[in-house]
Amino acid sequence: MPTRAVPPRPAADPATDARRAVMALAAAARVDELAPVEALAGPGVTDLRVPEIGLVMVRGRAGGSGRPFNLGEATVTRAAVRLAAGETGFAHVLGRDRLKARRAALLDALWAREALRPTLEAEILAPLAARLDAARRAEAEKAAATRVDFFTLVRGDD
């Protein structure tokens, strides 16, 4: 059966937006940048879903904004955990790194514990966001150096 297109996204609430922002950082992180979650999560973590490698079908849109079509698949690893205190965390990240997916799920679970957020910000999220911003800026600056102005010349023969 053809699969259904994704329904329009419901209006997100601020809590979901903040959680999605953390997930976006985790997805862009290197596995070592998420390492501090292991100690913060402590013992007694249950793997609700052992890290699993699979696929998502990446969709584009005809003409850029028209009808969706299936561009091709991408590898994704997903994981779900429950901390000893009961918080659950989920992760879906591009690639095939099981340890990264599990750490991203731990981060999502730890984020649910509000008292821990300043620690997460300081130890993981702020340095990660700073590195990603710098990398993005560096790329944008390289692109800017190749910005071109073409001049149309007047032909001399007519």
Partner 1 sequence: MYVAVKGGEAAIDNAHAWLADRRRGDRAVAEIAPDQIREQLTLAVDRVMNEGSLYDRDLAALAIKQSRGDLIEAAFLVRAYRTTLPRFGATEPLDTGAMAVARRISATYKDLPGGQILGPTFDYTHRLIDFALAADGEPPRAPTAPADAAAMPRVTDLLAGEGLLEADSPYDPEAPVGDLTREPVTYPAARDLRLQQLARGDEGFLLALAYSSQRGFGSTHPFAGEIRMGEVELEFDCADLGFAVPLGSITVTECQMVNQFAGSADAAPAFTRGYGLAFGHAERKVMAMALVDRALRTQELGGEVVAPVQDQEFVLSHADNIQATGFVEHLKLPHYVDFQAELGLVRKLRAEWTARREARDAAADTLADREAAE
* Residues at the interface with partner 1 (CB under 8 A): 1-10, 12, 16, 20, 23-24, 27-28, 52-76, 78, 80, 90, 92-96, 136-150, 152
What is the rounded CA–CA span in Å between residue 49 and residue 79?
5
Tokens of 28: 């862009």
Measured from the CB atom, the residue of 8 and 44 that comes closer to partner 1 is 8
Q: Which is nearer to partner 1, 72 or 156 (CB)?
A: 72
Instruction: Compute the chain's Rg from CA coordinates.
Output: 21
What is the nearest approach in angstroms of partner 1 to the Cβ of residue 84?
A: 21
Q: CB of residue 31 vs partner 1: minimum separation in angstroms?
A: 13
Residue 96 corresponds to which tokens in the numbers above? 């095939």
Q: What is the distance between the alpha carbons of residues 50 and 53, in angstroms, rounded to a whole number? A: 10
CB of 43 to partner 1, least distance (A): 25
Query: Who's near 30: CB < 8 A, 6+ residues apart?
Result: 100
Q: Check: CB of residue 63 under 8 Å from CB of residue 91.
A: no
Minimum CB separation of residue 154 from partner 1 in Å reads: 14
Instruction: Provide, rounded to whole angstroms, the least separation between the CB of residue 136 and partner 1.
Output: 7
Residue with tokens 């023969």: 157
Residue by residue, DSSP assigns 9-23 as PPPPPHHHHHHHHHH
